[in-house]
Amino acid sequence: MVVGESGLGKSTLINSLFLTDLYPERVIPGAAEKIERTVQIEASTVEIEERGVKLRLTVVDTPGYGDAINSQDCFSTIISYIDDQFERYLHDESGLNRRHIVDNRVHCCFYFISPLGHGLKPLDVQFMKAIHNKVNVVPVIAKADTLTLRERERLKRRILDEIDEHGIKIYHLPDAESDEDEDFKEQTRILKASIPFAVVGSNQQIEAKGKKVRGRLYPWGVVEVENPEHNDFLKLRTMLITHMQDLQEVTQDLHYENFRSDRLKRGGRLSSHGYLRRMQEMIAKMQAQMQKQDEGDAPHV
Amino acid sequence: ICCLFVKVQLRPAPPVFPSYSSMSEAVVPDALVSPAVSGLYGEKAGGPTAVDFSYVGIDAILEQMRRKAMKQGFELNIMVVGQSGLGKSTLMNTLFKSKVSRKSVLATAQEKIPKTIEIKSISHDIEEKGVRMKLTVIDTPGFGDQINNENCWQPIMKFINDQYEAYLQEEININRKKRIPDSRVHCCIYFIPPTGHCLRPLDVEFMRRLSKVVNIVPVIAKADTLTLEERDFFKKKIREELRANGIDVYPQKEFDEDAEDRMINEKIREMIPFAVVGSDQEYQVNGRRLLGRKTKWGTIEVENIAHCEFAYLRDLLIRTHMQNIKDITSSIHYEMYRVRRLNENNTVVAHANGIPEHHLAAHEM
């Protein structure tokens, strides 16, 4: 799941991370439309295959977050979505046929922090505290090329201090096992020391120093996405890849179990009406959308 | 409201060449006297230049005005509005090449976001080449930083109206001061975050309301986060949205006085909002010392128009349109306020003065 204000480069970063275009027909709404909207949940699923390994990746986007003049309670839809996935899994797990359970639970939430401020904003704190017991929170400093190296270090320290101060529980990389090789241990140490990652995303190829790199071209130079001296993109990608398993495990063993025990303690039937109703509404919306698309694709007579 | 006064000397006074203001009236070199004056005393006007019989000497008024202005000095009140972290203080320091922002004067250990919006004024006496200016920078910390930002423009609107009120009160006094102290906000620089997409609802709301009572100069803050392509797209989008919402920012179309004005101002209107970068740190680039930001991938030069549009903003605010900004504030925005106030219970008189209804309603919050 990606959460953050408009314009922080979330879509670009996701596309950069997975080298795909998850949002081919994207239309960015203007200010007038933003006034009307509440936070939406948009899930896009893509199947990625690499060296015979298949990954079913779902990216849950949350457009509208933080856009409104009054952002009080702007994230209740997000919380509901996370809970709904847990609910559905719980329902499936408790059913008779458990062979093909699809895991739609949110394994990781990238929270995008603006590089412009002096640290966390009040909304950042409120949101992270509302979800840190439900999902692995990975804070990311967006558009890191706005900052000089010194500003970046200062901002990272400030954010870590504020996370501590407010008791926010972000995802912690597990220490390397003692039987891992030195390189891996060192890599883990470096990763842990760089959190929160300050990233730059881009899918444009730029010519720099005679070779083609993914980057952003400015009049004063080129920011290279995959250059560790320029930003932490590679670190973020490494973390995601080497800890995909751990993210799923923590979701299963910690967040899901917390949800499950709370839910069962509260009692009530496992197939909650609320969840079913929401699913039915979503299906109806998708069907309407598909129908509109079909009508659009039909050849003009 | 908190006000601070600090005296600042921009640089040591340059070597003084004999100039009008420093010399006594009697010893005026021949070359500087207008032909009309010398003619009064029966002397030959100049040497080889022939006397122009049709020349009256009205243009000597310019020199007299200049001398008076030098003696009196100028006042300029600029308000900066925008979320925390958009570089407002740094930009002010860069514009006036000295530490004029509130943060520089009151070094605060940690910049905490205030719970409500505060209005903080700080004044400096700046001098350059004998010209003195009292610059007041009005900061608005807390704007747009809360979770609920509804009506966050109200304290700002109130402050602007309060300054008009103070001026009005002094003006209608029976025994009023010779020079009414001018605390009216001449210009409000609005900082737009460089998202690259479009304006946010908060930006539209604020500019829509305040453009009717004060000159608004929108700028794209921290523009070094946008590539040139992204910048052009963003600016176009912003101009579209301003137009769509009927927001008239400075220089306003309806206040263009003549064709010449219109031509100059149209060029400016096609370029706003200026994409700016501020810095008060100097770096060595190609043997020259420049203001800039040094990163691993290059150094951004603040005054280089190939990098950002800071120079255009500075020229607009200081070198070309400063007087115009003040004129519009006093002869249009202030007058609208004044008419409304004086006719508070009598809208009939207002209509008789040719003031349309929507102008009267502009000052309402």
pLDDT in tens, A131-158: 999 999 999 999 999 999 999 999 999 9
pLDDT at B11 over 50: no
pLDDT at B25: 38
Q: How confident is the model at residue B44 (pLDDT cuts 50, 70, 90)?
A: very low
Q: Which two tokens stand for residue B31?
A: 């070359």
Q: Reduced to 3 states, what is the DSSP secondary structure of residue B286?
A: coil
Distance from CA of B123 to the nearest CA of A (A): 25
> Range of B190's domain?
70-100+113-348
pLDDT in tens, A69-80: 888 878 889 999
Among A64, A7, A68, smallest CA distance to A39 is for A64
Specify the pTM: 0.80
DSSP-derived 3-state class of residue B55? coil
Q: Does A28 contact B at CB distance below 8 Å?
A: yes
pLDDT of residue B280: 85
- List the single residue in A69, A118, A220 with the smallest CB-CB distance to B307: A220
Measured between alpha carbons, how far is A290 from B211 in angstroms, rounded to an integer? Answer: 44
Question: Distance (Å, rounded) from C-alpha B198 to C-alpha A282?
Answer: 29
- CATH number for the domain spanning B80: value is 3.40.50.300
Provide the pLDDT confidence category of residue B32 given band limits of 50, 70 and 90.
Answer: very low
CA distance A57 to A30: 29
Give the separation between CA B194 and CA A194, rounded to whole angstroms: 25
Any bridge partners for residue B290, and if so which?
A: B283
Tell which A residues from 113 to 172 touch B, by Cβ distance under 8 Å: 114-118, 121-123, 126, 143, 145-146, 148-149
**A192 is written with which tokens?**
């842990």
Q: What is the CA radius of gyration of chain B?
A: 24
Tell me the per-residue pLDDT of B91-134, one tens digit each, with 9 for 90 and over. 999 998 888 877 766 655 456 677 778 899 999 998 888 889 99
Is residue B364 in a domain? no
From the number of C-beta atoms within 10 Å of its C-beta (0-12, 13-18, 19+), residue B40 rates as exposed
pLDDT at B5 over 50: no
Distance of CA A120 to the CA centre of its chain: 18
Alpha-carbon distance values, A31 to A130, A156, A278, B331 (Å): 27, 31, 29, 33
Flag whether B31 is in a domain: no
CB contact A7 to B (< 8 Å): yes
Query: Alpha-carbon distance A299 to B16, whole Å?
Result: 82
What's the confidence (pLDDT) of residue B23?
35
Interchain CB contact of A27 with B (< 8 Å): no
B225 assigned to some structural domain: yes
Task: Name every residue whose Cβ is closer than 8 Å to that of residue B280 and which is 6 or more positions away in sequence.
Answer: B90, B93, B94, B99, B291
Amino acid code (one letter) for B54: S
* Model pLDDT, residue A27: 66
Torsion angle of alpha carbons B216, B218, B221, B226, nearest 10°?
180
Strand partners, B121: B3, B138
What's the pLDDT tens digit per position in B231-257? Answer: 999 999 999 999 999 999 999 998 888
Quick one: pLDDT at residue B47?
A: 45
B309 contact A CB<8A = no
Report if residue B256 sits inside a domain.
yes
- At B76, phi and psi to the nearest 5? -140, 125
Average pLDDT on B29-34 reads: 43
User: Does residue B139 form part of some domain?
Assistant: yes
The pLDDT of B313-326, averaged and rounded, is 93
Residue B34 has a pLDDT of 46
> Are A145 and B195 in contact (CB < 8 Å)?
no
Taking the C-alpha atoms of residue B326 and residue A139, their distance in angstroms, rounded to an integer, is: 46
On whether residue B28 sits in a domain, the answer given is no
For A224-246, the pLDDT digits (tens) are 999 999 999 999 998 888 888 89
Query: Whole-number mean pLDDT of chain A?
Result: 86
For residue B358, what pLDDT is reported?
62
What's the pLDDT at A117? Answer: 84
Choosing among B108, B152, B195, which should be mutated to test the A contact, i.e. which has the most A CBs within 10 A? B195
Query: What pLDDT score was predicted for residue B195?
Result: 93
- Is the residue at B226 inside a domain? yes
Better pLDDT: A279 or B216: B216
pLDDT in tens, B268-283: 999 999 999 999 888 8
Number of domains in chain B: 1
Domain ranges of chain A: 2-199+231-292
Thinking of the domain A2-199+231-292, which architecture would CATH place it in? 3-Layer(aba) Sandwich (3.40)
